[in-house]
Structure 1
Amino acid sequence: MPWRIRTGQHVGRDHLLYNRNCQDGLAVLHGLIKSEEVMIGVLCDGCSGGDKNSGRYSEVGARAAAPYVVQAVRQLLERDTEISLIPVLLWEQLIGWLRRTIDEYQLDGPSKAQLIANYFLFTVVGMIVTERTILFFSIGDGVIVIGKDVRILDYNNTPPYPAYHCIEKSYLTLTEDLPQGFEVLLIDRATFAVGQVAIGTDAWHHEQSLLTDIWGHEHVAGLQRFLNAQSNNNRRFFRRRFDNHLGGSRGTGALMKRVTIGGIAYTLADSALIGSGGEGSVYRLRLPRGDVAVKVYHKPTAERSSKVRDFLSHRWALPTDRIALPLEAVYDSGGRKIIGLTMPYLGSGFEEVAAFANRKYRTTHGVTNKEVTTVFLDGGKVLQPVHSSGLVVGDLNERNVLFRGKEMLFIDVDSWQFGSHPCPVATEMYLCPDLYNMNLEAKPSFLPVHDWYAFAVLLYRSLLLVHPYGGTHPQLMKLTDRALRKVTILDSGVTVPAFAMKPEVLDTAMLDVFDQFFTKGIRKVFPIDTLRTYSDHLRECKQCGSWVPDSRALCPVCQVRQQIVTHTVLKKDITFRDILTSTGDIVLVRIMGGQLYVLTHERGVTVLYTGDPLQGPLQRQELFPIPPKVTYGLFEHTLVVSQDADTTLRLYNLRTRKWSTDVTTSRFAITRRLMFRTDASTLYRISAGRLLRGEYRGQHYLETMVRQVMEEHTWFTADPSSADPRLVGFFQMPSSQIWWLSWEGSTYDNLPLGQMDDTEVFVDLSVKFDRHGVLVRRKIERNGISGIRYDLVSSKGVVAYSSPWQPMTDQVVDELHGQVYQGGILLHATDGGVVQDRIETGSRKTFEKTKGLVHEGDSLMLWGKGLIITSGNRLGYVELGQL
C-alpha cells in the first residue's frame, strides 16, 4: 500500500486572543534516499509564555528550525549514517546551528537572553520513517501516536528548549540540569505491525479523545479541514497536527531507557550515562530523596531478576558507606520485568584502585606506599563482614574496587556470589588459578579465600607496580601459565620490567606473606595485622620522598636512581647519551618548535627544563610549588595546570612566570577526568557543549569553536606536536561510541571503527598521530581477558584498516602508552631492546643493539635521527642509523 502523508495546522484560540501568529514550524520530506523510500517530518512548537509578551515571535525560530532539521536528517541518511545514531549527531548540529545564528546578532548578556526569549524558544518533535525502521526524536512537550498507542511527552509546559544551551546559566531559573540530547523511540518494522504513526504538539494533551479521528482522510487537505472544523465549530484549542498514514508494516518498538522504579515511570537520558560495561549501562537519576545510580542490564535474564530480588529481600549487616549495595529493583516501562537495579550515587572524588599501579598517576597525585597501605587496611576491614554475611565478591578486580581518600569502596555488588546465586564473571588477572577453566555461571564456585587471593594481587600491584606473575619468561610466555606453575616475578628466570618497584620497598614479613600466596600457593585469609605493622613502620625518605620500611638501612628507590647512565658510544651506528637525571620525577615531556620541554617535580617545586638536548645541557627554571593532584598541559609559551578538585584550568605564562588566565572545562562522565588537550599552539577545552580552541594573540587569549559536542560524554585528544588543529574523539553512548575526526579545519563524523559487543568492556585507549592520520588502539576486555583493537584512520576520515580483537598476550608489551608511531609502524620499548611493529602485517623486528638502553615501561619520542627515552626520573637519547 502506498504511503499516505497528511499534515494540518491551526492557530490556537489562546494565540488569537493575544493577536499572535501560529507559532509552530512544520516541515516534511518524502522521497527516495539511497534507493529507499523515506519520510521525515518535524514539528517545532514556539514558546507561548504566561504573559502576552513572552515568546512573542517564537515562530521565527520554530519555522526556521523545522526545515533545517529535516534537511540535516536527509544529509545524514545520504551519508549512510546508522539511523540509531542520527539523534546524537542531529542534536549536535541543531545546537551548533542555533549558536551560529544567535551569535550573528553580536549581543551579550541580557540583550542576548532577551533575543533568545523572543525568537528562539521552541520544542522539537520529529520522526523518520524508512522501509525498515521508524525513529521518533523529541525535546520538550508533544505527543507521539503509534496506532492506538498515545505517548504523551510532558514537561509540565516548561520544556527545556534547545536554545537554553545558548544562554548563560545565570539567566536560567531551571532547577534541573539541561538534557544533552533528544529522547528517542526506535521501532523495528520487521517484527511489529505499524500501520499508522503521527506526531503532534502539546495542544493534543487535552484533546486525546479526537486522536481516533485523525486517520483515513483521503483528500490531501482532509486533515487540515478536520482541524479547522474542530476549532471553528467545536471551539477546540488546536495549534497544529501532523499525520503520517502508512500501509501495513511490522516492527517492534520500545522507548529507549524508559524504566519503572518504585511504581513510578522515569526516562533515562543518554546524557545521564555515567558508566558502561560488559553487564550493563549505568545512569545518574535524580529522585525526590536524592540522586541514585541506575544500572540497566544489556541482557536481562530470569536468573538476574531472581538474584536481584533475592538480594533485596535480605537485610545485610554491611557498611553502606563503603559498599554500593543495591537499593531497589528497576523494572521495564510496563513495570513487570526486572531489568536492573538502583545503587547509591557516589559522585566524584574517587578513583579506581588501578591508579595505584600507574607510575604517572602516583607521581602527579603524590601517592606513596603509605597511602596505598592505608586504603588497603580499610578495604580489609570491609571484606571481613562481607564474608561473615555469606557473601563472596568473586570478581574482585582493579575496576570495581575504588578509593576515596583513605577509604576503599566496593561497587558492582549485584555480581557478588551468595546462596545459590553464582558470580558468573571473572577478570583473568585476579582470578585464583584454582578456578581456571571452570564454568563460573554453572554454580557458586568462589570461596572467601579466592577474594583474599585477588586482594593480595591488587595489593602487590599497588605496592610494586607489577603483577606477582608479571614480567617475561623464555618458556612460560603467558601470565596464566606462570600462575599455574607458581613462577613469580621474583623467580631467577623472569625478566622484571624496569618500571617495577624493587622488592626491598617491602619488609621481610610482607615478602613472606606474598611468598605464601604466590610461590607456595597457600589459600588463606590475608593477614591484615602484618600489613598494619608494615604500614606503621614506613618512613619517608628525605631525599626522594618515598615511604620505605624503617628496617632498610638504605632507601631502595634512591639506590635505583643513583645508578646513573653516562654518555656512551656503543658502536658506530648506535649512540646513547644521558640528557637529564632529575632529583625528583618527570611528569611531562613535550617537543615544540624544535625545543624539548621537560617538566619535573623536585623537592616540592615544579621545575621546567628546556633546550636542544643535542646542543648542550637543558636550561633549568623553578616555577611554583607543586599543586596537589595535578595534571599539566603545554602550548606555545603557556603551561596549563589543572587539579582534580574542580574544573578550573589555570594558565601560567612561562615567559613572565606569572599566572595569566583561568578557564573551565567539563569532565568525561565515564572516567570523571577533566577533558582538555593541548597542541603546539592551542588549548582545547569543552564548555557548554562546545569544543573550543584557545590561543594567545599578543596579550589576549582568544577562543573559537571547533565543533559542537556532547557535554560530559565527549572524549577527545589532539596531536601534541602539531601547530595545526588535528583532533580525534568520540561521543559515549550507552552501548556504543560515535567516533569523529577534525583535521585542519575539516570534520568527519561517524567514523566506522569496530564497535564493541555487549560482552566487551572498554578499558583504555591510545591515539597516535602522524602526518597521514591517526592510529587508534583500544584495550578491551572480553570475558575477563584483556585484548586490543587497532584502527588506522586517514586524514580524510577514511578507516583504512581495522583489526579484529587480539589478546594482549599476542602484543609486544602489555602497555598502550609510550610508543612512537609513524607510517603504520609502532616502536616499542622492551627489555630486549626497541621493537618495530608493523600494524597491518603484524611483522616485528628487534633492534638488538638497543638492549640495555631501553626497558619495558619506558616512553619513546622521535627526535632527529633517534629517540628520546623517558625512564623514571631519567631522560636519554639513542641514535639508530638503521631507523
Structure 2
Amino acid sequence: MTTVEIAGRSVRLRAGQIIGQGGEATIYRITPDTVLKLYKLPTDQDFVMNPMLQQAAVIRLGEQQRKLPAFPSGLPSEVLVPNQLVRARGDIIGFTMPYVTGMEVLMQYGARAWCEANGVDTNQTVSVFRQLHTTVQSLHRAGLVIGDFNDLNVLTDGTALRLVDADSMQFGGFLCRTFTGRFLDPLLTDGKQLVPVSPHNQASDWYAYFVMLIQSLLYVGPYGGVHRPVAGARLQHDDRVLGRLTVLHPEVVYPKPARPFAILPDELQAYFHGVTEQDQRGVFPLKLLDNLRFTTCVSCGNLHARPVCPQCQAPGAVRQTVTIRGQVTARRVFRTTGRIVQAAVQRGQLHYLYEERGTLYREGGNRLMDAALSPELRFRLRSTDTLIAHGNVLLVVASDGTVSRRIVDCYQGRLPMCDSNGDEFFWLQDGQLRQSAPLGTLYLGDVLPSQTLFWVGERLGFGLYRAGQLVRGFVFRPGRRGLNDQVAIGTIRGQLVDAACALSDEYAWFFTITQEDGTLMHRVRVINVDGSVVAEQSAITGEDNWLGAGIRGHMAVGHSLFAVTDDGLVRVACVQAGMAVEREFPDTEPFVHANVRLMPAPGGIYVVSTHDITLLTIH
C-alpha cells in the first residue's frame, strides 16, 4: 500500500484501485470521477535488471518536477491535462485527472472483429477523426506537439474523444522522450533503425494521425501484412518502414481480414502514396475527410467510398454452401445478415447467439430479446441459457425466458468477470470465484478484487491477478473447491492491451498482448493442470508466424493447439520449453483468416466468422 499527498492531504492507494498499468506509470481510480497517475520509480519490478530503463525513470521523474507545474492551460476539453499534483516526501510523483467512462482505445476501431461485433459505423469513425483533426490543430496552435501519438492514448465512444498521456506532450524546452514504433515518422530516424534521432514535431503528429486513420478505415496499417519476397530476406515491420515497403508492395501479402485498398476514393489513395512513397508531410487535408462517405453496395453488401463499388467491378466467386478443396470439405451450417455475437461447442453440441436488426436470437431462430450491441456488454452461453453482463450485473436468461440475476466484480472497473461451460456458469463476487451449482452457489476460492481475469473450459480453468508488481496465475477444476495460485507466469511488462486463453482438458494456452517500449508484443504461456508453465513463446505483432498473426480464435485440443492464420490452419505443439508447428493444413486457406474463431466439431472443426459458421472436415 502506497501513501501519497494531494493538495496537502494524505491519500492511501490500494491495489484494488488500479485500473491500468503502462510502461511508465500505474493508474488508480481514487474517487468515482477521478484517477491518479503514479509514475513508476527506478526500483519498479518492470525495470529490474535493465539499467537503461532505470536511468530513463530517473530522468523522467526529475524532469516532471519542472514540467508538470509549467503545463499549459486553456487546452481543448478533449485533452485530459494534469489536474492536481501528487507528491511523496516533497517530490512530484504523479497527478490526478478526470475518469473517463464508456470509451475504448482507438486501437479497437482498427480491429475488424471488434468493430463488426459492436456494430461500428465507419462513417462515425470518420467523424471521430474530424474531431481529432480539430484537436490536433488546437494543440499545435497552443505550441504543443503530441509526440508519442498512438492509438492507445486516444479514447472514443464513436462520438466524443479524449486524449490521455498529455504529460508526455512536448512544449517549451520539454521534449517528448517516448515513441511507438507503429506510428513513428521514419523521417525522424537515421534511416538505419526505427528509433528517433530528432525530436517529434508537428509533421510527425500528422504522420501518426494518417497511420491511425488508414488502420481504422481498412483494418490494416500502411505497413501491415507480411513480407514474402521470391528471393532474399523477409523484412519485418521496422525495416519495411525504413525501406518504404508498404502493404501494397507486390512482395507483401495483403491481410485477408483487411478491407481492400480499392474501396478508398482516388484522392485518399493518392495521399497514401504521397506519404508512404514520396515522404510528403504536412497538415492532413481536412477536405479528404469532408468528402469521405462510405456506403454499402446493394449488390454485394460490401462497404466502399467510391462512386461505383470496386468489388462488383472485379471478378469474384459465389460463396457455395459446400466447397471441396484438396483434403478439406467446407460446409456452411449457419449464416446471418446480422452478426454472430457468441458461439460455443458444449457436450458436442453447437450453440450460438446472433443479432439481426436489434434483436438477439439463439440457434434455431429462437428470439431472445431486443438489445443494442455495445462494447460494454459481455455474452456467454451455457447450453441453452444465455449470460448477459453489463457493469456489475449478470443476467442469466433461461430458454423458457426466466431471468436470474447476480452481482459480479469488474476487472479494473470495466469488464464484468463471468464465464461458462456446458454445465455451469462462473463469476467473481466480493473477491471470490463462484460457480453455479444444482443446490445453489459453489465457492471455489479467493482472488484479488477488481484485478482478476479468468477463463473456464469443460474440465480446466485458468486465471490471473495483477496489481502493481504482483502477478500471480492460478488453475482450478470446475466443480471442485480450491485454487492453485502458485502458477509462475512471470512478470507482465508494460501495458496489458489484450489477453485470451484457449483451454483443453489438460492445458491452458494463455495469450497476452503488451505494449513494451513502444512495441506490441504477443506472448503465449502453456500451463498444465498442475500449474506448471511447460512452454513459452513470443512474437512481435505482425510477425510472419502463427503467434504474430493474433492471439484470439485458436483452439486447444489435448496437448496441441490449432491456430488460425491467413494461410490456413496450423497445429502447434510444445517442444521442450518452446513451441513448434508440427503440421500445416494449406487446403484450409480459403476458409479461414486471422479473425475467425475455431471450435471443435464432431469429425471436424467449426470456423466462426462475423456472419457464418462453417464446418471443416479434413480427410
TM-score by length of 1: 0.62
Structure 2 distance, partners of 1:576, 1:796, is: 37
Corresponding residue of 2:411: 668
Aligned counterpart for 1:465 among listed residues 219, 239, 250: 219
Q: Quote the offset at 1:587 in angstroms.
A: 2.0
Change (3 A) 1:791 1:434: same
Q: Distance in 2 between matches of 1:384 and 1:393?
A: 11
Q: Number of residues paired by the alignment? A: 591
Name the residue aligned to 1:620.
365
Quick one: which of 78, 87, 97 aligns to 1:322? Answer: 78
Q: 2:142 aligns with which of 368, 377, 389?
A: 389
Letter in 2 for 1:500: A
> Residues 405-420 of structure 1 correspond to what in structure 2 (within 5 A)?
405-420=158-173
Give the distance between the partners of 1:694 and 1:668, measured in 2 at CA.
Answer: 20
Give yes or no for the alignment of 1:564 onto 2:319. Answer: yes
Is the Cα–Cα contact under 8 Å of residues 281 and 298 in structure 1 kept in the other structure? no
CA distance in 2, matches of 1:497, 1:527: 27
Q: Deviations over 1:507-536 (max 9, x none)?
A: 3333233232224331221112321221xx
The equivalent residue for 2:266 is: 508
Task: Name the SS for the 1:677 alignment partner.
Answer: strand
Is the partner of 1:851 in helix, strand or coil? helix
Secondary structure in 2 matching 1:596: strand
Q: Any idea what the Cα deviations from partners look like across 1:447-468, whole Å, max 9, x if unmatched?
A: 1111111111111111111122
Q: Is the 8 A contact 1:421 1:443 kept in 2?
A: no
1:542: how far off? Answer: 7.3
Any idea what the Cα deviations from partners look like across 1:404-461, whole Å, max 9, x if unmatched?
3511211111222223322222121111222346999997611111111111111111
Superposition pairs of residues 352-367 of structure 1, within 5 angstroms? 352-367=105-120
- Helix, strand or coil at the partner of 1:852: helix
Q: Match of 1:797, as an amino acid?
A: G
The one of 718, 731, 738 equivalent to 2:465 is: 731
SS at match of 2:253: coil
- 288, 297, 306: which one aligns with 2:63: 306
Aligned residue among 779, 787, 790 for 2:513: 779
Aligned counterpart in structure 2 of residue 822 of structure 1, from 557, 576, 595: 557
The one-letter code matched in structure 1 to 2:339 is D
Q: Which has the higher contact order (CA 8 A, sep 6+)?
A: 2
> What secondary structure sits across from 2:462 in the alignment?
strand
User: Match of 1:296?
Assistant: 39
Is contact 2:188-2:197 (8 Å) kept?
A: no
User: Is the alpha carbon distance of 1:460 and 1:779 closer, same or farther for their aligned partners in structure 2, counting shifts above 3 Å?
Assistant: same
Q: 1:626 to 1:513 in 2, by over 3 A?
A: farther
Q: After the TM superposition, which residues 80-479 of structure 1 pair with which residues of structure 2 at under 5 Å, given as runs?
A: 256-286=1-31, 291-299=34-42, 300-319=57-76, 321-332=77-88, 334-335=89-90, 337-339=91-93, 341-436=94-189, 445-475=199-229, 476-479=234-237
Could you tell me how far 1:356 is from its partner in structure 2?
0.8
Provide the C-alpha distance between the structure 2 equivalents of 1:854 and 1:558, rounded to a whole number of angstroms.
Answer: 24
Change (3 A) 1:688 1:364: same
Q: Which residue of 2 aligns with 1:484?
A: 242
Residue 807 (str. 1) matches residue 540 (str. 2): yes
- Distance in 2 separating the partners of 1:354 and 1:313: 31
2:72 is matched by which residue type in structure 1? Answer: R
Matches of 2:198 and 2:142, distance apart in 1 = 16
SS at match of 2:365: strand
Deviations 1:309-354 (A, max 9, x none): 23422433311x311111243222x22x222x21312242111111
Distance 2:145 2:193 in 1: 17
Give the alignment's Cα RMSD to 1 decimal.
Answer: 3.0
Once residues 673 and 704 of structure 1 are traced to their aligned partners in structure 2, the CA distance between those partners, rounded to angstroms, is: 22
CA–CA distance in structure 2, aligned partners of residues 626 and 733 of structure 1: 34
Q: What is the match of residue 502 of structure 2? A: 768
Partners of 1:870 and 1:305 in 2: CA distance: 51
State yes or no: 1:714 paired with 2:461.
no
* Structure 2 SS opposite 1:391: coil
What is the letter of the counterpart of residue 583 of structure 1? T
**Compared CA separation, residues 304 and 857, structure 1 to 2 (3 A):** same
Once residues 565 and 271 of structure 2 are traced to their aligned partners in structure 1, the CA distance between those partners, rounded to angstroms, is 30
Give secondary structure in 1 for the equivalent of 2:39. Answer: strand
Cα distance, 1:283–1:543 mapped onto 2, change above 3 Å: farther
Q: Deviations over 1:541-584 (max 9, x none)?
A: 679998643x444496999998413313334x432222233222
Residues 477 and 835 of structure 1: is their aligned pair in 2 closer, same or farther, counting only changes over 3 Å?
Answer: farther
**Which one-letter code corresponds to 1:754 in the other structure?**
G
> Where does residue 694 of structure 1 map in the other structure?
436
> In structure 2, do the counterparts of structure 1 residues 691 and 374 end up closer, same or farther at CA, with 3 Å as the change threshold?
same
Q: Distance in 2 between matches of 1:490 and 1:354?
A: 21
Query: Residues of 2 paired with 1:423 and 1:854: CA distance?
Result: 42
Q: Distance in 1 between matches of 2:134 and 2:111?
A: 25
How far residue 277 of structure 1 moved from its aligned partner, in angstroms, is 1.0
Retained in 2: the 8 A contact 1:648–1:662? Answer: yes
Q: Which structure 1 segments of 5+ residues have no match?
A: 1-255, 610-618
Describe the superposition over 1:812-850 as per-residue Cα deviations: whole angstroms up to 9, x where unpaired: 242001112234432222232222233434432422333
User: 1:642-653 maps to which residues of 2 (within 5 A)?
Assistant: 642-643=389-390, 646-653=391-398
1:363 corresponds to which letter in structure 2?
E
Secondary structure of the equivalent of 2:510? strand
> Who is 1:522 aligned against?
280
Q: 2:380 aligns with which of 626, 630, 633?
A: 633
SS of the aligned residue for 1:651 comes to strand
User: What secondary structure does 2:227 align onto?
Assistant: coil
Counterpart position of 2:589: 851
User: Is the alpha carbon distance of 1:267 and 1:324 closer, same or farther for their aligned partners in structure 2, counting shifts above 3 Å?
Assistant: same
Aligned to 2:52: none
Corresponding position of 1:754:
490
Q: Gaps spanning 5+ residues in structure 2: where?
A: 43-56
Between 1:369-378 and 1:661-670, the stretch displaced more is: 661-670
Percent of aligned positions that are identical: 23
Distance 2:279 2:195 in 1: 25
Looking at CA atoms only, which structure, 1 or 2, has the larger radius of gyration? 1
Q: Does structure 1 conserve the Cα–Cα contact (< 8 Å) formed by 2:3 and 2:12?
A: yes
Letter in 1 for 2:533: V
**1:593 and 2:593 equivalent?**
no
Is residue 2:598 matched to residue 1:860?
Answer: yes
Alpha-carbon separation, structure 2, partners of 1:302 and 1:642: 44
The 1-side partners of 2:26 and 2:467 are apart by 9
In structure 2, distance between residues paired with 1:507 and 1:443: 35
TM-score by length of 2: 0.87
Inter-partner Cα distance in structure 2 for 1:499 and 1:762: 24
